[in-house]
Amino acid sequence: MDDNKEKELTKEELAELGKSGWKLTGVEPAKFESNVNTMLVTSRKLAHDFAKFFFAMSDDVAGCIIDVNKLTNRISCWLYLQNNKFDRKGKKFKAVVQSNLVARTSSIIDVYTNTYRSQNTLMSLTDDAKNVFDEFLYGDAPRTPKQGGKWVPQWNRIYAEKTENRNPYGINPAAVYNYGVIELDPTRILAKMYGEKASENAYFEYAILINSVIGMNNVQFPNYLLNIMQANGETINKVASEIGFSMQNDLGIVTPFTA
C-alpha cells in the first residue's frame, strides 16, 4: 500500500469541509403578500374612466377633467354636467334641472354669452345628485352643521356653472355651452370603483402621486402620468404593530401621556 497516496474523502467528509458542491435547487417560492398595490395611468385615461363611472348613473354627465393645482399639487376630478333629457324607464338619476332664467344685464360679457344661447337657463343640482355626490366630496368641502350633529355640504359654494364657447373668436359664435361643474375627490371615486374594504376590520386607502407630465406643459390641462396606490389597511397595521408603532386609540390622537 502506497502511504503517499492521498486518501479520498467520502461525500459526508467533503460536506463537513464545505466542499460537497452543494447547489441551490428545489426551492419553492413563498407567496408575496403585498400591502400596497400600484397602477400607472394617464390623467386623461383616469378622466375617461371616471366619466364612464358617473355616466352609468346619470345621462346628465357630460365628462370630467383631472386637474392638478400646481401650487398645492392637489389632484381633483372636475365633473361636468348638462341638463339632458331624462329617461323615465331607465335606472339612472337626474343630476341637474333648469332652475331659472338668466338675468340679462348691461354687462357686455353677459350680453355676449346670453345672446346666442339657445336656452338662457341656469341649472341646479337635484336632491338625488346631492345624495350621490356627497360621498365623493373632499373632506374640506364647505359644510354647515344641522340638527342632530350632522354636517351638510354648502352646495351653493361647491357647485358652480361654467360657460364654454366652441369658438369665441368668430366662425361659429352661436355654439355656446353651459355646464354645471363640481369638484370631487378622486381617491373617494377610486374607493367606489376598486373596493372600499380590505377585510371585515380594515379598509383600503387610496393615494395618487404625479409621476411625470406627458407632452407640453403650457397647455391648460396637460396629460399627467399618475401613480395610483391602493394600500391594505389590515396588513399595514400589522407591520406597524411589529415595529412597535401604536396610535393608542381609533382616532389616532397622541395624548400628553404617550411616551
> Where does the pLDDT of residue 171 fall: very low under 50, low under 70, confident under 90, or very high at 90 and above?
low
How many CB atoms are closer than 10 A to CB 175? Answer: 13
> Where does the pLDDT of residue 116 fall: very low under 50, low under 70, confident under 90, or very high at 90 and above?
very low
Collect all residues with Cβ–Cβ distance below 8 Å to 250 and sequence separation of at least 6.
Answer: none
Residue 145, Cβ density class (10 Å: 0-12 exposed, 13-18 middle, ≥19 buried): exposed
Distance of alpha carbon 79 from alpha carbon 137, whole angstroms = 11
Q: Is the pLDDT of residue 180 over 80?
A: yes
Distance of alpha carbon 20 from alpha carbon 192, whole angstroms = 58
Mean pLDDT of 176-202: 88
Q: Is the pLDDT of residue 60 over 90?
A: yes
Mean pLDDT of 205-222: 78
Distance of alpha carbon 224 from alpha carbon 90, whole angstroms = 35
How many CB atoms are closer than 10 A to CB 214? Answer: 13
**Closest of 63, 68, 104 to residue 82, by C-alpha:** 63
Share of the chain above pLDDT 90, in %: 34
C-alpha dihedral over 90, 50, 183, 185, to 10 degrees?
120
DSSP 12: H
Residue 112 cell numbers, joined: 355676449
What mean pLDDT is reported for the chain? 80
